[in-house]
Copies of this chain bind each other. A is one copy, B any other.
């Protein structure tokens, strides 16, 4: 049995080094949506792996490159880490209290775009490996890293990469890119993700914007076409109106609902954090709210753009209008079927003029709650955090976990540095330093105990 006291001390004593290395990683922009700093960041991540004895490659794809690394360890078993080096766009810049790519320590937190999602997690894995090697002289198991550069733009190229490299990526377990604590400091264990189908709907009614005094009653208006088309997708009752949309939705099992019932009530915290007056449909919390939150598919307008958007008035009749729309999918929905049903629906409703641009899709995916690796992750979390872990049967977000589940047949667990105030995807993204320390300790225990397992 490993003595974790020495490993924990090492982690604490070398915290400043870890944070310094993380600051360098966050200072390197890597905005996948804007193609900013991608190559530089991939190379930096590969160097971070090589510095630790990993064989690391920067593997080109049709999009942004994937960083792959592997190193041998004491056991023959392989633990695979999935992470991503890309980040969300930093805009709106004026809402940041310190520049997004100038990592800044403040109030026990590190602020930077990507510090929580997902660079803090990359650093967490590496700092855990550092501590184990420093104390035990070796890695406890074979370790592989797949660190992609397109997670924030729907992970388009990781899917064929995993599908085409089952031997290279062969593993006995996988640690997903995120993890961390809830608002009470209890560690989360997430056992699945919804899928996603992300599209842009585009209306184009002419080649030139017109004066609204001229065409208002006789010219087609792209903003109106888009508004009407969108309004057919979902009713004010939140029911999605695309025919057959709910056909393949699996209902949660009794076990799922028990897990949901055991989850702590963070509904008041959510209302406060997002400044909401209430949840949809009058939901008040409890199993009912949680069930809707993760076991229902969604249709979310993520963005609208058309015509004049500046201060005051401009009397223009827009020739173009676009909406970004995100469908979250539950087992057994697929992005392909949603795309097909969406096209049919728009055509049937008289909107064959609305173009659908497919911007990315992922299938939903879940890990078996009864897998021994899940128990290992939960037990080690209890040990590190000193609180009872929270186990979510599925969470609302999406990722390429399904391709690892389906192609590599690995169970997937979570561990990490996140917390509800991390503002991932928003201005002032941050990571609490104390959460980083806990995440590193948890990851170190997972690695070590995974290596001990026969």
A residues lining the B interface (CB < 8 Å): 32-34, 88-89, 91, 152-154, 194, 196, 198, 200, 205-221, 223-224, 226-228, 230-231, 234, 236, 238, 273-280, 283, 289, 292-293, 296-319, 321-324, 326, 328, 350, 359-360, 395-398, 424-426
Report which of B223, B274, B326, B398 forms a contact with A206, defined as CB distance below 8 A: B274
**Nearest Cβ on chain B to A163's Cβ, whole angstroms:** 22
Asked if B303 and A426 make an inter-chain contact with CB atoms under 8 angstroms apart, the answer reads no
Q: Contact between A302 and B307 (Cβ–Cβ < 8 Å)?
A: yes
B307 near A216 (CB under 8 angstroms)? no
* B228, B312, B326: the one within 8 Å of A212 (CB): B326
User: Which one of B299, B318, B326 contacts A301 once the chains associate, using CB atoms below 8 Å?
Assistant: B318
Please give, as numbers and ranges, the residues of chain B lying within 8 Å of A280 by CB-CB distance: 217-220
Q: Contact between B324 and A307 (Cβ–Cβ < 8 Å)?
A: yes
| Interchain CB contact under 8 A, A208 and B275 | yes
Which 8 interchain pairs have the tightest Cβ spacing?
A: A207-B275, A213-B397, A216-B298, A231-B231, A223-B301, A303-B307, A303-B308, A305-B309
Q: Which residues of B contact A220 (CB under 8 A)?
A: 276-278, 280
Cβ-defined partner of A304 (8 Å) among B298, B311, B321: B321
- Please state if A312 and B274 are interface contacts (CB–CB under 8 Å): no
Q: Is B198 touching A301 in the complex (CB atoms < 8 A)?
A: no
Inter-chain contact A224/B33, CB cutoff 8 Å:
no
CA A207 to CA B280, docked complex, whole Å: 16
Cβ of B300 and Cβ of A359 under 8 Å apart?
A: no
- Given A292-B218, A302-B212, CB of A312 within 8 Å of CB of B359: yes
Distance in angstroms between the alpha carbons of A317 and B293 in the assembled complex:
14
Q: Given the complex of chains A and B, what is the CA–CA distance between A260 and B145 in angstroms?
A: 74
Report yes or no: B300 in contact with A317, Cβ–Cβ below 8 A. Answer: yes
**In the complex the two chains form, what is the Cα distance from A300 to B313 in whole Å?**
12
**Distance to closest chain B CB from A242 (angstroms):** 15
CA distance A238 to B220 in the complex (A): 10
Known A301-B318, A318-B303; judge A313-B153 contact (CB<8 A).
Answer: yes
Q: For the complex, give the distance between the alpha carbons of A214 and B422 in Å.
A: 13
**Do B301 and A307 touch across chains, with their CB atoms under 8 A apart?**
yes
